[in-house]
Amino acid sequence: MNDFYGRIGRWPTRSRVLLVVGGFVFWPIPGLGPVLALSVWSLACLAQLSMGSRGAAKRRHQTYEPVPITDTVFYPFEGLQEVVGESHYHSGIHRVVSAWKTMGTADVPILAILRPEPFNPFDAHAVRVDLRFGDVTETCGHIPAYLAVGWGQGLRPHLDAGRQPVAHASVFGGTLEKPDYGVWLSSERALRRPRFRT
């Protein structure tokens, strides 16, 4: 049925006008004329409504079209925020930490880029966290699902204005004692430098 609505919603305006005119042609026919006319007019109305729903869907999609980013802004939040799902991105996190290690500058922070994912197949409110150090950018996880709606709403005005929200990131683990990585975000400069396996 959805496929049917999709097809008639793509009919050109000329076809819908012909259906309306055809209804007036069928009306005078004795017996089945009024029934045919009403059927044709109903089809024309469905085509018009389907076209309207397609337009609304297109407008909803346009809401999420990216605005060119011209600046960054530190996203304001209090305290520390845990990132979840790091185990799925171990190799990417390791690349960022390795770049930090190679640089050898403990004073240069690792940044976390906050990106809403409205088309995420598991959660339309998901907020992805990407780590960036120098030219290396890798996904490290997501904001916890129970906080994602609020964070997404807070990020949207900045993104709509062309500002990319970021935060300071602290990376823990990657050692022999704790081989898995953990990532925490802060609105302040990271209090601990990353630790990693040598």
pLDDT band of residue 42 (cuts 50, 70, 90) is: confident
pLDDT band of residue 27 (cuts 50, 70, 90) is: low
> pLDDT tens-digit profile of 126-153?
999 999 998 899 999 999 999 999 999 9
User: DSSP character for 66?
Assistant: P
6-11 LR contacts (CB < 8 Å, sep 24+): 6/50, 6/54, 8/43, 8/46, 8/47, 8/50, 9/47, 9/50, 9/51, 9/53, 9/54, 10/51, 10/54, 11/47, 11/51
Identify the pLDDT of residue 101: 83
> pLDDT tens-digit profile of 86-103?
999 999 999 998 888 887
Q: What's the CA gap between 100 and 132, in Å, rounded? A: 10
Is 63's pLDDT higher than 50?
A: no
Q: What's the CA gap between 158 and 81, in Å, rounded? A: 19
pLDDT band of residue 198 (cuts 50, 70, 90) is: very low
What is the separation, in whole angstroms, between the first and last Cα of the chain?
A: 60
Identify the pLDDT of residue 193: 46
